């Protein structure tokens, strides 16, 4: 790495990530991760979900703490608005994933970020989820992400960082490509 790259700091430990990449190339089985969340219905449209442990590098991983997330619906749906709607969590996840990628790619390319702000918008026709019109899908019509980035780089370099971040983003992949979903139910 040259001096210029040494002096920039987006708070991402690129050496550790590159080391992990090299290690996982040699031991692909350690790259098999499993992400988990648990949830419990509270009342009405309110559900509380918890994220704690995950599996990776060949063993159970514990953070030593957990994160709670309340999902609900706003009052115009006659709900109590105890949390963001689940679809808003999808936008949150997308922003978080691309954002992490932007910081990482910028660090790897020796580019200092000063500020990275995004506004996400996703139109949705409620005729889908309400079962009014079978031709309307339940989910988003599309998603628009608008980034405003202040960085020590050219416009093309910044655009390339954002494009590369999408290319390597798990959530971007999850929302742009189909995923097989298996929901099992057991009566208790």
Which residues lie near other proteins (CB under 8 A)? Answer: 28, 142, 156, 159-160, 163-164, 166-167, 172-173, 175-178
Residue placing its CB nearer to other proteins in the complex, 83 or 172: 172
Contacts of 89 (CB under 8 A, 6+ apart): 69, 71
Pairing of strands 113-121, 144-151: antiparallel
Residue placing its CB nearer to other proteins in the complex, 32 or 163: 163
Smallest separation, CB 115 to other proteins (Å): 22
- Strand intervals (E) in 89-186: 113-121, 144-151
Residue placing its CB nearer to other proteins in the complex, 37 or 163: 163
Residue placing its CB nearer to other proteins in the complex, 66 or 176: 176
Name the phi and psi angles at 82, rounded to 5.
Answer: -85, 0
Smallest separation, CB 165 to other proteins (Å): 9
Residue 110, Ramachandran bin (φ over 0: left; ψ between -120 and 50: alpha; else beta): left
CA–CA distance, 25 with 152 (Å, rounded to integer): 32
Give the DSSP per-residue string, 23-34.
HHHH-GGGG--B
The candidate with the shortest Cα–Cα distance to 142, out of 175, 166, 110, 165, is 175
Residue placing its CB nearer to other proteins in the complex, 4 or 63: 4
Smallest separation, CB 45 to other proteins (Å): 28
Smallest separation, CB 137 to other proteins (Å): 10
Smallest separation, CB 9 to other proteins (Å): 21
């Amino acid at each position: 790495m040259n001096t210029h790259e040494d002096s920039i700091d987006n708070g991402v430990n690129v050496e550790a990530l590159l080391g992990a990449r090299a290690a996982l190339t040699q031991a692909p089985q350690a790259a098999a991760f499993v992400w988990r969340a648990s949830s419990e219905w509270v009342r009405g449209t309110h559900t509380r979900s918890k994220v704690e442990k995950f599996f990776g590098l060949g063993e159970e991983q514990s953070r030593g703490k957990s994160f709670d997330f309340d999902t609900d619906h706003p009052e115009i749906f006659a709900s109590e608005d105890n949390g963001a709607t689940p679809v808003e969590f999808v936008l949150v996840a997308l922003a978080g994933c691309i954002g992490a990628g932007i910081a990482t790619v910028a660090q790897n390319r020796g580019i200092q970020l000063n500020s990275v702000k995004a506004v996400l918008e996703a139109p949705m026709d409620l005729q889908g989820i309400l079962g009014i019109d079978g031709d309307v899908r339940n989910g988003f019509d599309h998603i628009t992400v608008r980034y405003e980035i202040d960085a020590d780089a050219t416009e093309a370099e910044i655009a390339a960082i954002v494009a590369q971040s999408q290319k390597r983003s798990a959530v971007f992949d999850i929302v742009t490509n189909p995923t097989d979903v298996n929901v099992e139910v057991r009566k208790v």
